[in-house]
């Protein structure tokens, strides 16, 4: 039955995407961006998203589409696309082959969730770098990402308030009845990682006084506060860690006084709302459940045990540190080692254990190249600076967030990677009109007790 449903879904997906491709590949891309945070768990180990409706259209664009005059404009490229292609080859071919020899089979989690999932994300990455061939298009993508994320967050908060104040279970909460906000995503950590990236970009646009969103500053400040509330209500330690790391990166780029004032306003608003919810709006049973989640040590202990077991697996064979133990091997053997099934909730450790030093180094090179792209643009005196700082802070937040989870396969991560590449290309090949969104406050990099102008 599940196979029939998947087949029917693929057919419908293909037909819908064909319509979008014939009409406008660009609109298909914007639809993909707007629907990033709407997910559905079709199978226990496979999560679809509304944005997947547009992936075949993006794939058709890569195969048959042409960019109008973008080839010359985006002639200057970085090593990021090549690193991603090599990483994918190593992960899918080498990692899956090692898995087969280790287990005698290829688990569905490996070939469906990871291998096909990575191909899906690569299609999106290369489609973005192909279709976004002007500053105007890049700005539109960023605007859609922030505005759609803000709109979905307001919807999620409505469900969260209904649960906390009225005790009404709803789909916005994890498992419908828990105290953790998950929005329309699979789990609170996923939603927190997504919302924190939207928040960091919003704050950078606000700090840089960019006119990109065409909204008054008070509206952008209110949006930042609501996004912060959404991140807090996930009760996801990894998401909060990522948000803190991103905020620290943000402070390094802007004047400390302005940054502290604005962050103080935003965080004060968040804390006031959170205090009202947690101490005035909660019934006794809801309050008990909330604090049980916040201070519960079971999840942390389980993940620490999993990390220790993963390190033991890394050194089981002399070849494991080099080529890894195979993608999905730990999950397949976790019940034997831990007594229950669990993946490695640390992206760096997971890649090191299952793809070895080869996969780990390629992944690190990808992320460093993306950060370098953003830093190059952020340090320049141009209208792209605020956007580049936002993307950079988002990637820094992601690198901290995935320390407590497995997040590389989330779609918004690959959107930011693609935007880092596009922003670099557009900046290097900039035309005079690219300064139309010049912020009034250029980013600064704090050094020691002062700050110096970037550039």
| Bridge partners (DSSP) listed for residue 451 | 446
Q: What is the pLDDT of residues 139-154, one digit of tens each?
A: 999 999 999 999 999 9
pLDDT of residue 11: 53
303 occurs within a structural domain = no
138 occurs within a structural domain = yes
pLDDT of residue 2: 46
311 occurs within a structural domain = no
Task: Output the six-digit token pair for 87.
Answer: 């990483």
77 occurs within a structural domain = yes
321 occurs within a structural domain = no
The segments of the chain whose pLDDT lies below 50 read 1-3, 6-7, 69-70, 72-74, 433-438, 440, 446-455
94 occurs within a structural domain = yes
61 occurs within a structural domain = yes
pLDDT of residue 211: 87
Number of domains in the chain: 1
In 3-state terms, what secondary structure has residue 181?
strand
Determine the Cα–Cα distance for residues 359 and 356; give it in Å rounded to an integer. 6
In 3-state terms, what secondary structure has residue 179?
coil
pLDDT of residue 277: 60
Give the number of other CB atoms < 10 A from CB of residue 448. Answer: 6
Task: Output the six-digit token pair for 272.
Answer: 């006031």
Determine the Cα–Cα distance for residues 349 and 299; give it in Å rounded to an integer. 18
Task: Give the domain extent around 282.
Answer: 2-297+345-453
Q: What is the pLDDT of residues 321-336, one digit of tens each?
A: 999 999 999 999 888 8
């Amino acid at each position: 039955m599940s196979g029939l449903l998947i087949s029917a879904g693929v057919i419908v997906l293909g037909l819908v995407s064909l319509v979008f491709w014939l009409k406008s590949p660009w609109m298909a891309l914007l639809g993909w961006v707007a629907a990033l945070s709407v997910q559905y768990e079709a199978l226990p180990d496979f999560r679809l998203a509304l944005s997947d409706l547009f992936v075949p259209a993006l794939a058709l664009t890569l195969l048959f589409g042409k960019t109008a005059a973008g080839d010359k404009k985006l002639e200057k490229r970085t090593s990021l696309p090549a690193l991603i292609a090599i990483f994918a080859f190593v992960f899918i071919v080498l990692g899956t082959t090692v898995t087969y020899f280790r287990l005698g089979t290829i688990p569905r989690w490996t070939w469906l969730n990871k291998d096909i999932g990575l191909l899906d994300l690569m299609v999106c990455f290369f489609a973005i770098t192909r279709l976004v061939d002007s500053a105007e298009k890049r700005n539109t993508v960023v605007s859609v990402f922030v505005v759609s994320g803000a709109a979905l967050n307001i919807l999620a908060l409505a469900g969260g308030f209904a649960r906390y104040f009225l005790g009404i279970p709803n789909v916005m909460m994890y498992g419908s009845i828990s105290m953790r906000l998950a929005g329309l995503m699979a789990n609170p950590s996923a939603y927190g990682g997504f919302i924190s990236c939207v928040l960091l970009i919003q704050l950078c646009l606000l700090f840089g006084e960019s006119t990109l969103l065409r909204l008054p500053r008070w509206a952008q400040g209110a949006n930042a506060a609501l996004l912060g509330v959404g991140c807090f209500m996930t009760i996801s330690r990894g998401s909060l860690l990522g948000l803190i790391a991103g905020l620290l990166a943000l402070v390094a780029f802007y004047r400390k006084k302005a940054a502290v004032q604005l962050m103080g306003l935003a965080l004060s608003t968040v804390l006031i709302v959170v205090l009202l919810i947690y101490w005035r709006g909660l019934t006794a049973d809801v309050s008990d459940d909330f604090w049980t989640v916040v201070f519960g040590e079971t999840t942390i202990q389980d993940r620490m045990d999993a990390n220790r077991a993963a390190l033991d697996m890394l050194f089981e064979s002399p070849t494991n540190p080099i080529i890894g133990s195979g993608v999905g091997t730990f999950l397949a053997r976790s019940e034997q080692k831990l007594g229950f099934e669990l993946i490695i909730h640390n992206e760096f450790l997971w890649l090191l254990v299952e793809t070895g030093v080869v996969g780990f180094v390629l992944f690190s090179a990808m992320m460093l190249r993306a950060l370098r792209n953003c830093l190059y643009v952020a340090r320049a005196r141009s209208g792209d600076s605020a956007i580049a700082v936002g993307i950079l802070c988002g990637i820094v937040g992601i690198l901290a967030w995935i320390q407590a989870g497995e997040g590389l396969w989330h779609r918004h991560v690959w959107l930011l990677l693609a935007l880092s590449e596009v922003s670099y290309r557009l900046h290097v090949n900039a035309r005079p009109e690219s300064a139309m969104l010049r912020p009034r406050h250029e980013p600064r990099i704090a050094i020691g007790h002062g700050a110096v102008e970037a550039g």
